[in-house]
């Protein structure tokens, strides 16, 4: 894939970028390693000051950053501006809490004194996706930099201007050169960076194949890895659920970010008592969504980020209908320029259908009818993924079973799955390992050093 800004709403190529040469990569890795030696000794107060400045820049220029995101990957402008605001939030969160999360932790033993100290690891490579082109990067960078690490960003090839804008934000915030650098490189050049002994660790957010590849290279090098991969999150509705609220939230949870979110609700598992009403209301609400120019404030769904994503999604829908799935609405790309796909709902999904087990990365909802809670839990867990799960019920015993038995990195009851700087985020099974956000996130890229004093 070339490194380029291609407007997904029009298909127009706006800007092409050259990939870095081997010499330029060497220069940036050298700068990262040199900078780490001094940056790791800066105080939390100094880092806090710079991180708060980054938050101010994000807030002051959120409209410009929002337009950049929308231009490069097509999310509705309203959501893009909110994304810039959320990045400011995470900068403030870690600015204010890093000292506490990484304070020495005294452990009483038979030593005179024993404690745990958390120390930065070094340059961390971040391989990031385009779907939340600012948020994904900031949720790595804010904790990593507050912990005293330095960052090297390999962003997705379709959001190069976002990648450069983020590097500029950290520079303007006062972080020394080399604390956060963008590497404009293609994915085949990641290995070259990762095997460099000066690079201490890697985090990847993206697809399963990319995760497997990066983790196996890191494994050979014995380097710490965090993987945030895909998901096929269940959204379960039981008979006691407030149906109107559940439907409104279900539509939002499926179509957020034009349907391209790892934690979007993808499989809607509905108790038979509620199924018909849910299906009717849900299809009507999907029909009412406004698809169009993502720069318009009133647009609900913009184009998919790339032609490839659209073709993959369309192929999955076609194969699913060939395997017996019924199209309740949508089911094809829109006849206009750009990567627009109709809001789509599929029902009657058989086990043989891709819709039963694959991740659908776009505005396509998959409906399932179940008879009782055991069946709901079994179906929810019948996936190789384990990222998030949303369950709707006012029955406390049912709530307890969902919390206990759903195989996922998080369970949200009567709410949609969402990320929050204060709470850990990550998956199990093929959704990856490790955690971002909260106190667990900032402790991923640190040496947890045991100290014993006699």
129 binds ligand NAP (CB under 6 A): yes
Among 48, 72, 196, 228, binds ligand NAP (CB under 6 A): 228
Determine how many CB atoms are found less than 10 A away from the CB of residue 106.
11
Q: Kindly report the CA angle at 443 between 441 and 445, in degrees rounded to 5?
A: 95
Catalytic residue of the set 162, 262, 358, 407: 262
Q: How far is the CB of 4 from ligand NAP (least distance, A)?
A: 11
Taken in order 88, 93, 99, 105, the sign of the CA dihedral is negative
384 binds ligand NAP (CB under 6 A): no
Q: How far is the CB of 160 from ligand NAP (least distance, A)?
A: 10
Instruction: Give the integer Cα–Cα distance in Å for 167 and 145.
Output: 13
Residue 434, SS3?
A: coil
Query: What residues from 386 to 405 belong to the interface with ligand NAP (CB under 6 A)?
Result: 387
383 binds ligand NAP (CB under 6 A): no
138 binds ligand NAP (CB under 6 A): no
Instruction: Give the integer Cα–Cα distance in Å for 219 and 225.
Output: 8
Among 6, 84, 124, 210, binds ligand NAP (CB under 6 A): 210
Q: Tell me if 124 sits within 8 A of 202, measured CB to CB.
A: yes
Q: Spell out the residues 6+ positions from residue 335 whose beta carbon is closer than 8 angstroms to its own.
A: none
DSSP of 219-267, one letter per residue? HHHT-EEEEE----EEEEE-TTS-HHHHHHHHHHHHHGGGG--TTSEEE
Q: Tell me if 417 sits within 8 A of 410, measured CB to CB.
A: yes
Nearer to ligand NAP, 201 or 214 (CB): 214
Instruction: Give the integer Cα–Cα distance in Å for 164 and 180.
Output: 10
Nearer to ligand NAP, 130 or 175 (CB): 130
DSSP of 94-128, one letter per residue? HHHHHHHHTS-EE--SSSSEEEEEEEE-SEEEEE-
Catalytic residue at 357?
no
Q: How far is the CB of 187 from ligand NAP (least distance, A)?
A: 3
Q: Tell me if 145 sits within 8 A of 151, measured CB to CB.
A: yes
Query: What residues from 156 to 195 belong to the interface with ligand NAP (CB under 6 A)?
Result: 156-157, 186-187, 190
201 binds ligand NAP (CB under 6 A): no
304 binds ligand NAP (CB under 6 A): no
Count of residues of this chain found to bind ligand NAP when the rule CB under 6 A is applied: 27
Catalytic residue of the set 228, 342, 358, 407: 228
Catalytic residue at 162?
no
> What mask, x for binding ligand NAP by CB under 6 A, covers residues 255 to 274?
-------x------------
Stretch near ligand NAP under the rule CB under 6 A, chosen from 49-57, 71-79, 115-123, 205-213? 205-213
Closest to 226 in 3D by CA, of 198, 197, 204: 204
225 binds ligand NAP (CB under 6 A): no
Among 51, 145, 214, 408, binds ligand NAP (CB under 6 A): 214
Q: Which chain residues interact with ligand NAP by CB under 6 A? A: 1, 127-131, 154-157, 186-187, 190, 205-207, 210, 213-214, 228-231, 262, 359, 361, 387
């Amino acid at each position: 894939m070339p490194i380029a800004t291609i407007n997904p709403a029009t298909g127009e190529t706006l800007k092409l970028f050259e990939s870095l040469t081997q010499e330029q990569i060497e220069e940036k890795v050298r700068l990262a390693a040199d900078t780490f030696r001094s940056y790791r000794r800066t105080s939390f107060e100094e880092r806090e000051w710079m991180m708060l400045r980054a938050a101010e820049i994000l807030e002051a220029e959120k409209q410009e950053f929002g337009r950049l995101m929308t231009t490069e990957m097509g999310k509705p402008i309203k959501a893009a501006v909110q994304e810039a605001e959320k990045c400011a939030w995470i900068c403030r969160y870690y600015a204010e809490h890093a000292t506490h999360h990484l304070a020495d932790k005294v452990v009483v033993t038979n030593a005179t004194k024993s404690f745990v100290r958390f120390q930065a690891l070094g340059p961390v490579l971040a391989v990031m996706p385009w779907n939340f082109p600012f948020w994904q990067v900031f949720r790595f960078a804010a904790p990593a930099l507050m912990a005293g690490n330095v960052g090297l960003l390999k962003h997705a090839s379709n959001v190069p201007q976002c990648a450069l804008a983020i590097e500029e934000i950290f520079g303007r915030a006062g972080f020394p050169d080399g604390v956060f650098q963008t590497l404009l490189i293609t994915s085949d050049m990641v290995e070259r960076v990762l095997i460099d002994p000066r690079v201490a660790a890697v985090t990847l957010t993206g697809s399963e194949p990319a995760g497997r590849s990066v983790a196996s290279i890191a494994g050979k090098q014995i380097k710490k890895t965090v993987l945030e991969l895909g998901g096929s999150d269940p959204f379960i509705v039981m008979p006691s659920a407030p149906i109107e609220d559940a439907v409104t939230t279900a539509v939002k949870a499926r179509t957020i970010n034009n349907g391209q979110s790892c934690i979007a609700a993808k499989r809607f598992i509905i108790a038979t008592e509620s199924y018909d009403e849910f299906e009717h209301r849900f299809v009507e609400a999907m029909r009412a969504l406004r698809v169009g120019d993502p720069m318009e404030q009133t647009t609900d769904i913009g184009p998919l980020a790339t032609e490839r994503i659209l073709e993959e999604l369309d192929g999955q829908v076609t194969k699913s209908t060939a395997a017996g799935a019924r199209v309740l609405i949508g089911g094809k790309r829109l006849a206009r320029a750009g990567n627009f796909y109709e809001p789509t709902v599929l029902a009657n999904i058989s086990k043989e259908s891709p819709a039963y087990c694959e991740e659908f990365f776009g505005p396509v909802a998959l409906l399932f009818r179940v008879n009782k809670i055991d069946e709901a839990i079994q179906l929810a867990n019948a996936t190789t993924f384990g990222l998030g799960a949303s369950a709707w019920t006012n029955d406390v015993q049912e709530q307890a079973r969902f919390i206990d038995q759903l195989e996922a990195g998080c369970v949200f009851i009567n709410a949609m799955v969402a990320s929050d700087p204060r709470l850990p985020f990550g998956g199990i099974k093929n959704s990856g390992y490790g955690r971002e956000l909260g106190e667990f996130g900032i402790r991923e890229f640190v040496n947890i050093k045991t100290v014993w004093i006699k």
